Structure 1
Amino acid sequence: MPNSDDFRVKRIQKMLLEMAKGNFFYSIEPSDKNDNIASLVVLLNMVNEEIGAAFIHQGFANAHNTPQCVIQLSLILDAQGQIELVTNGTCSLMSYLPKDLIGKHITEFLSEKSGKKWTKKMAKHLKRERSETVLFLEFVTNDGLVLSKDCQLSVYQALDGSGQKILLDSVFFSKGEPFDTGLPKKTLKVTKGIKEHKVTLTPEDIQIIRDVHDMIINNLEKDLPRLNDLARQMGTNEYKLKYGFKQIYGTTIFRFLTRERLRMAKTLIKHSTLTIKQIIQMTGFKSKTHFSRAFKDKYGMSPTDLRS
């Protein structure tokens, strides 16, 4: 039988690694125990929440942007888990149209692990007339990206007599305007170096580009879809996405992806016991040769030399 304390310590280690990567949406469910490990879990969750509220992650925490608004993921389901209602924010986050979500079972849009967790937990809560709980779930978007978040689940009785319903709610922080960047409040003129190539970015366009940025950060192990497909899924066009991203972040989308993958790999090499092979898989590189060459070009030493 596995040691319970060892398992709890490993969960703490995973949470610390997530925080080191800049993921402040990860938290640990408190246990029924009353010991030092349980106290540490409570403290870590509090620290994680405070940091997440104060900073927006860009591979590492930084203070260039502050959270100003939230995008809400919200669904109403029947007692069997069939989706009955979704918000526009949910469709935007998941890259699905409402018709692709409504009528489907929630587990079709969860990772395998989260699907099993949903089935097990909700069987217990649906035995009560009303109940509330928080469940950490991994949603899989239409293009295979993963959105991980604590979700508030509320079981209630519908007023129209149609039986039990499940309300699923969660929020994702969205960045506000960067400090001291000189960005105009209404539009942003983007140039490619010559006047003929000019695009006007509205605040909505800028927000889409920032959403792409966050999607990359949260899914470094995933390959990006083609830019025209990504642009269409996000509600813009390839031209605006490419040149808007470069104007705002100073580099191309694919160079940014490689840079952040290398930054994450460096953190894991220095501060974890994961093997180089595991790190390569976690950061989305196709081969050890490609990874080693890119890492040495960036940091002037091989991954093995950094760890030794």
Structure 2
Amino acid sequence: MPNSDDFRVKRIQKMLLEMAKGNFFYSIEPMDKNDNIASLVVMLNMVNEEIGAAFIHQGFANAHNTPQCVIQLSMILDGNGQIELLTNGTCSLLSYPPKDLFGKHITEFMTERSRERWTKKMSKHLKRERSETVLFLEFITNEGLLLAKDCQISVYQALDGSGQKTLLNSVFFSKGEPFETGLPKNKLKVTKGIKEHKVTLTPEDIQIIRDVHDMIINNLDKDLPTLKDLARQKGTNEYKLKYGFKQIYGTTIFRFLIRERLRMARTLIQHSTLTIKQIIQMTGFKSKTHFSRAFKDKYGLSPTDLRA
């Protein structure tokens, strides 16, 4: 009979290899035992989610000097514009698991302006047997962030006789100065996903906002100070903190706090033996009623139904 500890360790090794390849959708289901390995699995699942989120967010505010990592958005569409194949990097950028992308029309993940551009431009290119063009497209991630990028579009006929295909490619730098934007190097204007209250942020401003982001992540069980007090603590002003955070992370500070609390709660429910009451305390919710309502609104299931 195989050693159960060896089997569990091999599953952990498999997850680490998947994370190393950039697959942050891989996780390990809860274990029956309540020992050190089970605790390690819980922590590993939580770290996996945090790294996945941070890996994506780093790409929306390039505040440092040189590119350190490249994530490629790449997918193949059928003749109707539905997604047939895609890379792990595409899933990471859009914050969707593959099953939520396959078979969907590409325009479902674009802004209205990009949908119009896609329909207008591609109508003539799809009439040709072979065609190439570059389109500036804006994609909306599962978390509401806006990815705007020039995309290389290639239309071709599949060699296996399955008809016309469209290859869409683009590259995103997760860290680095913005390239060919014409912006001064000492300032970065962040305007993603918002039409008003556009704030010009210096690298120091962006670092402060990232520090606030990290502070929230590391203190989910604690109440936040008011925005005014938080801004004063971090050496900035309330306006810049409020709208700068929303521009970088695509949501308000309060909504980000609730979202991360719920995400941590879901991980603990799925991958630990802690009671619901203990999880509520660890994630900073004031009452079971408030927690259950927010959890069901977010995930469509109550905490007890998810664990069942």
User: TM-score with structure 1 length normalisation?
Assistant: 0.46
Relative contact order higher in (CA < 8 Å, ≥ 6 apart): 2
Structure with greater proportional strand content: 1
